[in-house]
A and B are shown apart, each in its own frame.
Chain A
């Protein structure tokens, strides 16, 4: 990996503290068997790791939140490295769309709980790893209890509420939080919640409103990217465990895979941070509420109150030869993947320019991939005075399910 010039951290890296956490069980000094000595020989011959470091790795207890894109390389590499006890939190089942990046799971695992395929794979990678699985959503009710048993927490989640939850729980319990986050070709990584270092809230005091920042499911992600960021997180965890190097405490690593740029910026501990600064957050809060999810759900409910047409109804109207204007508000690259016959492409961002050309006397049906963007379009059209406008509920995905399975889902 390319080295970026490092700025002096604003906060002195408190490695000893983090390492103390990570290695609190080294007093147990687990011995390595001959088989383990051979297995870890490439670690043992690095002077910085050596036998003492490998024993620390064996004694370490690391909790991975999420067995998805980031969790896959994390689980594989930390297991291979010999982390003695790995905890894995996930509630999802393996979906075919996961396999482009989630290398912990295979084609044969589609439909299985991710924790089951993770267990099989980790046991194969390294039978010396003790794995504890938590098939649950991490919540304010269970987070402290789960995290308490571990030395280091690694955030491989895919949503803002869980990221703030993990952060606050780690600050409250004093556990280092190895952070990583990805979108399309770019990623971020850091180490939060060490004794003197900043936390996630120092970087982003509040989350964006729901819907502003697309998720990987909505916006896509290069399959390799979670590999890049997840292995950086795994590297940071091992550095903390062994107590070597310069962890990403007080620094944020920005990765731009498309342009081949790695860059670090300084992260300062915010003295006014309610989590790690003033410490006014003494217990976990409602993170769905904090992230505006209930409001977004209410908005989505309002979307359902918009005039809707189901794919079957639309197909019947098309078959009957009804005159209607079927508008697809997706992007051109999505149009290339799949389209509904009779539709024309007007990407959502260009809809305002199209308004003067629309015929208000015709019935207008708007569709997108799943029905969310087209709901926005319907609201825009209604606001512009169009009365005969319908949202195709479920979008092209439901069209594929209910009308024409030859139309590809994506």
Chain B
């Protein structure tokens, strides 16, 4: 299902920009597809085993995917997936 992935600036430089269109029946599939397209971005989105990190939160239409089955969360056409990494600057 085509969905839109929103990246923060810190990760956008590893892809073609802040906003990517990607396919996948689940968040995990979608992220795997993006990771294959952008190898430099891959290790910033998920670990070697393809699992989410505890310091990178994915929001599927404003809902934390941890409460929707994690990477197994189903993606619908037109969904928005926002990547929110931990930052510490102050």
Contacts and interface: CB of A to CB of B under 8 A. Distances in A.
Contacts of B57: 203-204
Nearest to A182: B89
Given A7-B62, A206-B55, A184 B88 contact: no
Given A208-B55, A265-B62, A69 B90 contact: yes
B18 A259 contact: yes
Nearest to A221: B89
Contacts of A206: 53-55
B88 A70 contact: no
A267 B64 contact: yes
B90 A186 contact: no
A360 interface: no
B87 A188 contact: yes
A181 B54 contact: no
A254 B88 contact: no
A254 to B, nearest CB: 7
Contact of B66 (A208, A213, A270): A270
B87 A186 contact: yes
A70 B90 CA distance: 5
Contact of A268 (B8, B55, B67): B67
B86 A208 contact: yes
Interface residues of B, dominant DSSP: mixed
Interface in A259-300: 259, 263-268, 270
Contacts of A204: 54-55, 57, 86
A69 B55 contact: no
A215 B66 contact: no
Contacts of B18: 259
Interface bracket on A: 35 or more
B81 to A, nearest CB: 11
Interface string B35-64: 000001000100000000111110100111
Interface string A196-220: 0000000111111000111110010
Contacts of B44: 212
Interface in A129-147: none
Given A266-B63, A270-B66, A181 B9 contact: no
Interface stretch (A156-164, A240-248, A399-407): A156-164
B4 to A, nearest CB: 13
A394 interface: no
B7 to A, nearest CB: 11
A216 B89 contact: yes
Interface string A5-18: 00100100000000
A227 interface: no
B85 A182 contact: no
A208 B85 contact: yes
Given A66-B90, A71-B90, A158-B90, A188 B84 contact: yes
A133 B18 CA distance: 41
Contacts of A183: 8-10, 87, 89
Contacts of B62: 7, 264-266
A68 interface: yes
A213 B86 contact: yes
A182 B64 contact: no
Q: Among B40, B53, B84, B88, which residue has the most Cβ atoms of chain A within 10 A?
A: B88
B87 A182 contact: yes
Among A155, A186, A267, A268, residue most surrounded by chain B Cβ atoms (within 10 Å): A186
B61 to A, nearest CB: 9
A349 interface: yes
Among B54, B62, B82, B89, max chain A CB count under 10 A is at: B89
Contact of A159 (B8, B54, B67, B88): B88
A156 B90 contact: yes
B89 A69 contact: yes
B88 A181 contact: yes
B54 A186 contact: no
Given A7-B62, A258-B9, A158 B89 contact: yes
Contact of A213 (B10, B84, B90): B10
A226 interface: yes
Given A158-B90, A266-B64, A184 B40 contact: no
Nearest to A258: B9
Contacts of B89: 69, 158, 181-183, 215-216, 219, 221
Listed from nearest, the 6 A-B pairs whose CB atoms lie closest are A206-B54, A216-B89, A158-B90, A205-B54, A183-B87, A208-B55
Interface of A: 7, 10, 66, 68-71, 155-160, 163, 180-186, 188, 203-208, 212-216, 219, 221, 226, 252, 254, 256, 258-259, 263-268, 270, 349
